[in-house]
């Protein structure tokens, strides 16, 4: 549930100016009720009025984000339930009055079939290892929570999930958490736009981009047109 007492947690890697984060912050300031925003990892110099948890980013991107989530869960000032976001999650509409819904992507088996057609790398291996771990713990047909939308997270339950998955090189932490904590939820299609295709849901409540689709695609143009004005979390305008 989203209330003004719930924080937003966003892992951020070391990198360039990160214009996706700038517009994500604008979308959260406009449409996602919250108390504080916590940037975990690298805090861009242009941000302001955000809270920061520094982390060492010496592993793979998957290990770094897992360490960031653990750090947020262990931090005493982060709200006991928070919204886990990425820096490319754009909230285009306010959530229902009762708060941010719990959303999932359907059975992991179906998501696995999708990625088998696209990739054979670490991400797919992590999906399978996370699935096998869950099946071994009695979750015969686990759900995937690897969506590009905010996920409500209870700190204590996420820490338990991260401990269970500690031995995995690429743990699908949202999926492990969602199934072990039994959060349920509603199934939706993922909103990530991987390329410059003009096909995306302009009327939907959530969007997500890749760096190229944000910078050069119609979806990026659309997001920038919806949130043209700087918010109180940024300096330096556009």
Which one of 3.90.550, 1.10.8, 3.90.1530, 3.40.50 gives the CATH number of domain 7-226? 3.90.550
Alpha-carbon Rg for the chain, nearest whole angstrom, is: 17
For the chain, the structural domain boundaries read 7-226
Cα distances (angstroms) measured from residue 9 to each of 77, 92, 101, 162, 169: 12, 18, 16, 16, 22
Q: Which residues contact 228 (CB under 8 A, 6 or more apart)?
A: none
DSSP class of residue 6 equals -
pLDDT, tens only, 101-134: 999 999 999 999 888 877 668 899 999 999 999 9
What are the tens digits of pLDDT across the range 77-91? 999 999 999 999 999
Asked whether the whole model's pTM tops 0.75, one would answer yes
Task: Over range 35-61, report the average pLDDT.
Answer: 96
Ordered DSSP codes for 146-211: --SS-EEEEHHHHHHHHHHTTT-SS--HHHHHHHHTT---EE----EE-SS-S-S-TTSSEEEE-H
pLDDT for res 1: 43
**Hey, is 125 helix, strand or coil?**
helix
Q: Which of 139, 136, 131, 92 is nearest to 115 (CA)?
A: 131
């Amino acid at each position: 549930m989203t209330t003004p007492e719930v924080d937003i947690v966003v892992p951020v890697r070391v990198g360039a100016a990160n214009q996706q984060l700038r517009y994500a912050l604008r979308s959260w300031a406009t449409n996602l009720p919250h108390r504080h925003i916590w940037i975990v990892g690298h805090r861009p110099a242009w941000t302001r009025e955000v809270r920061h948890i520094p982390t060492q980013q010496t592993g793979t991107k998957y290990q770094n984000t897992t360490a960031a989530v653990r750090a947020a869960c262990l931090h005493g000032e982060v709200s006991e339930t928070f919204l886990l976001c990425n820096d490319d999650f754009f909230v285009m509409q306010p959530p229902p009055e009762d708060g941010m819904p719990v959303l999932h992507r359907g059975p992991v088996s179906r998501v696995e079939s999708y990625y088998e057609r696209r990739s054979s790398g670490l991400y797919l291996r992590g999906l399978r290892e996370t699935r096998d771990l869950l099946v071994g713990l009695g979750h015969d047909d686990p759900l995937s929570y690897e969506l590009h939308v905010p996920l409500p997270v209870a700190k204590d339950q996420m820490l338990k999930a991260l401990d269970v998955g500690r031995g995995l090189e690429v743990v699908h932490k949202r999926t492990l958490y969602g199934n072990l904590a039994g959060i349920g939820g509603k199934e939706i299609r993922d909103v990530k736009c991987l390329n410059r295709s003009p096909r995306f849901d302009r009327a939907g409540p959530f969007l997500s981009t890749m760096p190229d689709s944000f910078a050069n695609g119609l979806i990026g143009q659309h997001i920038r047109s919806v949130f043209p004005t700087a918010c109180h979390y940024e300096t330096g305008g556009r």
